[in-house]
């Protein structure tokens, strides 16, 4: 039996940085694509990758309860697939036929859920949380107690600096990729509160003003250069959205720079549903020091359906200043995985487990925390099926993240 080519590992590593990490920062997705641009499988047409990412965007929007916006993405993908089939009739005709059937089914579903309308016009029609999401109070905490609510003012600004370090290791039955240490990534975002509604909903705009990496002696210069180049294409990325006074995302959108690569476009699109990972969702009830609550929700990430639960503990509160400890878990059972890098190979998720801890310092007069740090560990077990050959794969990822408001 012939041994599988190493490019399989590159494809898996590039596409499946475990989504657990994304809940703490949308930037983890940006890093996962940026750090490995040079590992792209050479035999796959870029046009198909771009179409596939559009389908994933539709899946993400559908998963967070925005069927009308999902329908718009599916319609775009359907037109692109039909054109692709005309111009590339020799390229994996069965794969294209499958994707067309998949998109057609999704369009029928999105049309029924969204009432046949076009793309959503903003946060007015969005729900406070994704379907199935809920905040559950576990302990009230001591006296005195108060309702925790964000209350920034229109025009308030924050400069947010993110620093992240990541390492990843992939193992298979017959080979093992060496542990990959990525250069520390630094991103700077300018955030502005554009409106505060009478019900407390907060509209914002955020712009990525700087993106770079920190060179380290034990990391190959070409890795640093590739990551730096990909991150640079995201400068100017603009995101908008609405967050409730309880720090729950109600809507989110992003404007992607024309210069962004297809991989970065997908990463930026995914960031729309992950900005909430930087917030502390508050319970409805008044709470005091020692209070504990739980925020659970199903999420859709890169074609996977994942159950996520965050547990929060109020360590201290002084007027508007809060200190909160967080613990997060993610689980997912056996299910098919999307694999655009090797469409001829069937890929199944066998098991996903993620866990992490974090510490937040927040000022309720500001939209985003003043300081946050997290350590994250996740394991993703998969099986690739190429005809008679089955290859088990396990990817382990460790992430250290720090956010600071300047």
Tell me the pairing of strands 202-214 and 180-181. Answer: unpaired
pLDDT of residue 270: 57
Which band of pLDDT confidence, cut at 50, 70 and 90, is reported for residue 303? low
pLDDT above 90 covers what percent of the chain? 30
pLDDT in tens, 199-227: 999 999 999 899 888 777 777 777 777 77
pLDDT of residue 298: 80
pLDDT in tens, 43-97: 445 677 778 778 877 776 776 567 777 888 889 889 988 888 888 887 777 778 8
pLDDT in tens, 310-326: 999 999 999 999 999 99
Of 139-143, 216-220, 341-345, which has the strongest mean pLDDT? Answer: 139-143
Question: Higher model confidence: residue 296 or residue 23?
Answer: 296
DSSP-derived secondary structure for 310-362:
EEEEEEEEETTEEEEEEEEEEEE-SEE---TTSTTSEEEEEEEEEEEEEEEEE
pLDDT of residue 153: 97
Which band of pLDDT confidence, cut at 50, 70 and 90, is reported for residue 13? very low
Q: Is 48 helix (H, G, I), strand (E, B) or coil?
A: helix
106-120, 194-208, 248-262, 270-284: lowest mean pLDDT where? 106-120
pLDDT of residue 244: 93
pLDDT of residue 104: 86
pLDDT of residue 154: 97
**The two three-digit tokens of residue 124, written as one number:** 């007015």
DSSP-derived secondary structure for 54-121:
HHHHHHHHHHTT-HHHHHHHHHHHHHHHHHHHHH-TTS-HHHHHHHHHHHHHHHHHHHHHHTT--S--
How does the average pLDDT of the chain come out, rounded?
76
pLDDT at residue 332 greater than cutoff 50: yes
pLDDT at residue 36 greater than cutoff 70: no
With CA atoms as reference, report the closest residue to 58 among 46, 82, 76. 76
pLDDT of residue 257: 61
Mean pLDDT of the 261-274 span: 59
pLDDT of residue 5: 38
pLDDT at residue 176 greater than cutoff 70: no
| Domain residue ranges in the chain | 7-66+120-405
Of 35-39, 155-159, 271-275, 301-305, which has the strongest mean pLDDT? Answer: 155-159
Distance, CA of 343 to CA of 304 (rounded, Å): 16
**Torsion region of 4: left, alpha or beta (phi above 0 gives left; psi -120 to 50 gives alpha):** beta
Which band of pLDDT confidence, cut at 50, 70 and 90, is reported for residue 41? very low
pLDDT of residue 65: 64
Mean pLDDT of the 348-376 span: 93
Question: Higher model confidence: residue 25 or residue 351?
Answer: 351
């Amino acid at each position: 039996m012939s041994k599988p080519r190493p490019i399989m590992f590159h494809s898996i590593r590039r596409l499946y940085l475990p989504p657990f990490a994304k809940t703490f920062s949308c930037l983890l997705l940006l890093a996962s694509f940026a750090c490995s641009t040079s590992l792209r499988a050479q035999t796959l047409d870029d046009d198909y990758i771009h179409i596939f990412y559009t389908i994933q965007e539709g899946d993400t929007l559908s998963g967070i309860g925005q069927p009308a916006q999902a329908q718009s993405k599916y319609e775009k993908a359907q037109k692109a697939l039909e054109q692709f089939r005309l111009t590339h009739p020799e390229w994996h005709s069965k794969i294209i036929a499958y994707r067309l059937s998949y998109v057609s089914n999704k369009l029928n579903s999105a049309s029924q859920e969204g009432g046949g309308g076009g793309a959503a016009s903003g946060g007015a029609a969005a729900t406070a949380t994704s379907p199935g999401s809920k905040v559950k109070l576990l302990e009230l905490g001591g006296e005195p107690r108060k309702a925790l609510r964000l209350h920034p003012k229109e025009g308030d600004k924050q400069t947010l600096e993110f620093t992240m370090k990541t390492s990843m290791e992939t193992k298979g039955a017959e080979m093992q990729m060496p542990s990959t240490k990525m250069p520390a990534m630094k991103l700077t975002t300018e955030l502005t509160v554009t409106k505060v509604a009478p019900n407390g909903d907060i509209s914002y705009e955020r712009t990525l003003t700087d993106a770079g990496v920190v060179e380290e002696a034990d990391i190959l210069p070409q890795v640093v250069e590739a990551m730096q180049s990909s991150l640079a294409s995201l400068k100017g990325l603009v995101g908008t959205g609405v967050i409730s006074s309880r720090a729950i995302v109600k809507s989110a959108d992003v404007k992607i720079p024309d210069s962004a690569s297809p991989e970065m476009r997908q990463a930026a699109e995914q960031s729309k549903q992950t900005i909430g990972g930087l917030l502390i969702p508050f319970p409805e009830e008044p709470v005091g020091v020692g209070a504990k609550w739980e925020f659970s929700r199903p999420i859709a990430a890169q074609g996977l359906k994942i159950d996520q639960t965050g547990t929060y503990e109020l360590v201290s509160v002084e007027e508007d200043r809060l200190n909160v400890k967080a613990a997060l878990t993610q689980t997912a059972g056996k299910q098919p995985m999307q694999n655009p890098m090797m469409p001829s190979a069937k890929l199944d998720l066998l098991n996903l487990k993620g866990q992490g801890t974090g510490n937040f310092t927040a000022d309720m007069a500001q939209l985003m925390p003043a300081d946050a740090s997290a350590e994250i560990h996740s394991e993703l077990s998969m099986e690739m099926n190429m005809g008679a050959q089955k290859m088990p794969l396990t990817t382990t990822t460790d992430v250290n993240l720090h956010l600071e408001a300047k």
